[in-house]
């Protein structure tokens, strides 16, 4: 069985401005993920530069920086079984035209440059991005969801 993981998710400025916060969060909660950190914040140029450091020098970097700092985002730490892979599936392909029907990007985005949401692409990226946006004391993981109890209760497998 795959392990419980954490991943970083950000509802981008276009998602916040369009009033999609509740609908997007509901997708993760409906799937059974536990949100252990969440905040609304304005991304500063310094914070954006840390987040997107791997894109420095690329032709789209300036547009990306403008976009992510153009309004508030909702930053989240999402926890659960195979969180990175599963959350990315819920989010959909970066280009909404290639996103699976029913994914967040297929449902709410039209163009790649304004694709509503970000989700970490690996456990390493998730850890790095969580550290950029959250202090350890801003993560509240000392509670157990109902689904978490069902998925991770090893006692029920003992015979």
Start-to-end Cα distance in the chain: 18
Identify any residues that bridge with 11 across adjacent strands, giving them in sequence order.
Answer: 74, 117
pLDDT in tens, 3-16: 789 999 999 999 99
Active site residue 118: yes
Average pLDDT over residues 23-42: 96
| Percent residues over pLDDT 70 in the chain | 93
Looking at per-residue pLDDT, the higher value among 152 and 130 belongs to: 130
Sign of CA dihedral 78, 81, 86, 90: negative
Helix axes 83-91, 123-133, angle to 10 degrees: 80
Average pLDDT of the chain is 92
pLDDT in tens, 131-155: 999 999 999 988 887 777 777 665 5
Average pLDDT over residues 63-84: 96
Catalytic-labelled residue, pool 51, 55, 89, 118:
118
């Amino acid at each position: 069985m795959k392990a419980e993981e954490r991943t970083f998710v950000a509802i981008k400025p276009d998602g916040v401005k369009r009033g999609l916060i509740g609908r997007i969060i509901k997708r993760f909660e409906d799937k059974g993920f536990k949100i252990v950190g969440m905040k609304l914040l304005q991304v500063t140029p310094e914070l954006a530069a840390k987040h997107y450091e791997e894109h420095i020098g690329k032709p789209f970097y300036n547009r990306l920086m403008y976009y992510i700092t153009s309004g508030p985002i909702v930053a989240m730490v999402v926890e659960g079984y195979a969180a990175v892979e599963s959350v990315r599936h819920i989010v959909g392909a970066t280009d909404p035209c290639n996103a699976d029907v029913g994914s967040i990007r297929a449902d709410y985005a039209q163009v790649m440059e304004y694709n509503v949401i970000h989700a970490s692409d690996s456990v390493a990226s998730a850890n790095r991005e969580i550290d950029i946006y959250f202090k350890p004391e801003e993560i509240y993981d000392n509670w157990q969801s109902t689904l978490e109890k069902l998925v991770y209760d090893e006692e029920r497998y003992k015979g």
